[in-house]
Structure 1
Amino acid sequence: MYSGKANCTELPIILKEYYLCPAYALEFTLGFLGNMVVVLGYPLCLKEWRSTNVYLYNLAMSDIICVCALPRLSYLYANHMGETSSVFCVLNRYILFVNMYSSVLFMALVSLDRYLLLRHPSRNHVLLTPRVAVLASVLTWVFVNIEMTPLLYYAINDNARTNGTMCHDFASLSQSWGLLVYSSGLTLVGYILPLVALFLCTRKIASMLKKQEEAFNQRATSFMKPLRFVQIAAYMFLLFYLPNHVMRNVRILSKLVGGLLECTLAQIEAVYIVTRPMPYANSVINPVFYFLMTDCFRELLLAGRV
């Protein structure tokens, strides 16, 4: 018979084994299948690549790499976080977060691309060329990897502290103000700013369509579909990413301030655990955008040729 205190402190352990384990396994299964169709199908069906296709393909690559790191997490949580390889522990964390933050940036690039296409329907803008899109994608990957350099530092130090026997989550890598500063900065630069750019592009597209609708009703209608996709993407990143970022920083802060009851700390950790699979749900849903935004790909897929 457990006391109330024991019950509340055991809640995070129960959630890790019976919530995180199946959640990550399900996200891997669905996300891998959907993104693999895109990764293999785009090169087969697209004869002419446009800037949007380049960004969406990089987004698909990011998603499939991300979900491929989830089975190991599922295994670890099923086995109470017992680690057998310090290298894989650090590498797994690095892969997850590189691809999580690159997804936001690539979707922001897609929204900017849609806005520029509306402004320049003839595609005579330099940023709408595939060559520039490839360059922007390379710079995005470089930027996100630079963002993750401090994460490598904290992960390696945490691994050394536990002698390679435990693989901790982001918020448990260190009990230091430095980790909180890094996590907060990553939230601002890696998530909030790209999300703001995504919403600004959505607002600009909607404003331009409203003006065009008054003068050229038919032309505006042809751009309503990409507008809806960009709007849905923006709200998805807000819905799936925000709770995780808030609770990650709250979790780190709760371990630094001191004076909190064990049950309070456990409850904060439990809420944080609930939010942890949420960002990766985007990788499951994103293939819908590739399917709907690329007419050629959609037609060939429905015809059974991809």
Structure 2
Amino acid sequence: MNATDSFESNFTHCPSIDDFRNRVYSTSYSFITVFGLVGNGLALVVLIKTYHKRSPFHVYIVNLAVSDMLCVMTLPLRVLYYVNKGHWEYGDFVCRISSYALYVNLYCSIYFMAAMSVTRFLAIVFPVRNLQLVTVTRARLVCVGIWVFICLSSSPFLMSGQFVDPSTKKTKCFEPPKGQQLQKLLMLNYLSLVLGFSFPFLVILVCYAGIVRVLLSRAHACRGQQNIGAKAIRMIVIVLLTFLISFMPYHVQRTVHLSFLSRADTTCSERIAMQKSVVVTLCLAAANSCFDPLLYFFSGEGFRRHLSSLQLSKMGSTLHKTPKLRTDAGSEPVENVS
């Protein structure tokens, strides 16, 4: 506590990064909102249209897209907060839910990716057992378990809401903890670092190592197995890039930053650099909602084919509504696709 009090007293002499923070957050969250809504919205349309062809992998993708949409829909509130120069006007309940939604999405995304990786692993490494172990019903139960586990374990983020800054008289939200709250957040950070990030990431790495080993041993496999292998490789690349760009920098930086806050022997330049790195890595973490549509497009089961089918169906319906363009040749591609 003495170290924390000393840090806070010294921190008042450092220049504020509010202008940098407000500018970066408002700009980044605006782009993430647009791309996230478009990408995940389009994905949900395709996934719902093809729901009759659902598979365990399809179930995980739908839940991942829903999680991303719920998170992206709260980002405009953050944009308004930072455009308004750090003044919150939407009530304590909305403040808590907005903070909570970001972390629920973050860890649901990690766990859904882990579940998808295990599904691909079983399909490639144990193709016979896969038919018995992996079913749509079990995938739904796994998704329910993930939602319940993440929502309950993220509930501490509901404990901190809005407050009034005594120096500026502004109502604040999404601000870092101070005093005794810092010690609680340190414990929560280590718990989430192990259960929310390290454990599922280790599962993903083990699955990918097994997949790559089997694919290398099947260099002369049949065409069907090669297609499955190509989907698996695309998924491996996208998931690992998402972890390296979004999840890993955020968790590493958050752990370093919280440890940094408990120290009193820090300079002003170090504090400013650390605060700016918090802003950048949190934006990268929120951007995972934009990367997930790439996962649906490049590794989803028939996602591109279904998307093309929907586009051709719309073109076909447009041609049928226009008498001058209604020809047999124009309708053949739609019939062949369906």
Work out which of the residue numbers 61, 82, 88 in structure 2 matches 1:56.
61
Higher Cα Rg: structure 1 or 2?
A: 2
Deviates more, 1:127-136 or 1:36-45: 36-45
Q: Which amino acid aligns with 2:288?
A: N
Q: Which amino acid aligns with 2:219?
A: E
Residue 173 to residue 105, structure 1, CA distance change in 2 (3 Å): farther
Match of 2:186?
A: 180
Residue 295 to residue 53, structure 1, CA distance change in 2 (3 Å): closer
Q: Which amino acid aligns with 1:249?
A: T
SS in 1 for 2:218: helix
Give 1:172 shift.
6.1
Q: d(CA) in 1 for partners of 2:37 and 2:77?
A: 14
SS in 1 for 2:203: helix
Output one character per residue of 1:186-240: Cα deviation in whole Å (capped at 9) or x when no partner: 12210111111111111110111122226x3645522332222232212321221
Q: Which amino acid aligns with 2:18?
A: I
Residue 170 to residue 202, structure 1, CA distance change in 2 (3 Å): farther
TM-score by length of 1: 0.88
Task: Answer yes or no: is the 8 Å Cα contact 1:172–1:252 preserved in 2.
Answer: no
Work out which of the residue numbers 266, 276, 288 in structure 2 matches 1:270.
276
Establish whether residue 74 from structure 1 lines up as the match of residue 74 from structure 2. no
Task: Answer yes or no: is the 8 Å Cα contact 2:46–2:303 preserved in 1.
Answer: yes
Match of 2:35?
A: 30
Match of 1:165?
A: 171
Establish whether residue 222 from structure 1 lines up as the match of residue 243 from structure 2. no
Task: Answer yes or no: is the 8 Å Cα contact 1:175–1:255 preserved in 2.
Answer: no
Deviates more, 1:87-96 or 1:183-192: 183-192
Kindly tell me the number of residue pairs found equivalent between the two proteins.
297
Match of 1:247?
A: 253
Q: Which amino acid aligns with 2:57?
A: T
TM-score by length of 2: 0.80
Task: Answer yes or no: is the 8 Å Cα contact 1:24–1:73 preserved in 2.
Answer: yes
Q: d(CA) in 2 for partners of 1:254 and 1:189?
A: 22
Deviates more, 1:141-150 or 1:27-36: 141-150
Task: Answer yes or no: is the 8 Å Cα contact 2:193–2:251 preserved in 1.
Answer: yes
Q: d(CA) in 2 for partners of 1:54 and 1:120?
A: 20
Match of 1:302?
A: 308
Q: d(CA) in 2 for partners of 1:146 and 1:96?
A: 14
Residue 300 to residue 57, structure 1, CA distance change in 2 (3 Å): same
Output one character per residue of 1:242-285: Cα deviation in whole Å (capped at 9) or x when no partner: 11112222222222222323332122111111111101222112
Q: d(CA) in 1 for partners of 2:29 and 2:94?
A: 17
Find runs of 4+ consecutive structure 1 residues off by over 4 angstroms. 5-8, 160-164, 170-175, 217-220
SS in 2 for 1:168: coil
Output one character per residue of 1:145-202: Cα deviation in whole Å (capped at 9) or x when no partner: 121122223x14xx35759921034566965222112112212210111111111111
Establish whether residue 19 from structure 1 lines up as the match of residue 11 from structure 2. no
- Structure 2 unaligned blocks of 5 or more: 1-10, 315-338
Deviates more, 1:175-184 or 1:73-82: 175-184
Deviates more, 1:112-121 or 1:19-28: 112-121
Q: d(CA) in 1 for partners of 2:126 and 2:203?
A: 19
Residue 246 to residue 229, structure 1, CA distance change in 2 (3 Å): same
Q: d(CA) in 1 for partners of 2:36 and 2:278?
A: 22
Determine what percentage of the aligned residue pairs are the same residue: 24
Establish whether residue 144 from structure 1 lines up as the match of residue 150 from structure 2. yes
Q: Which amino acid aligns with 2:195?
A: V
Task: Answer yes or no: is the 8 Å Cα contact 1:34–1:287 preserved in 2.
Answer: yes
Match of 2:330?
A: none
Task: Answer yes or no: is the 8 Å Cα contact 1:105–1:140 preserved in 2.
Answer: yes
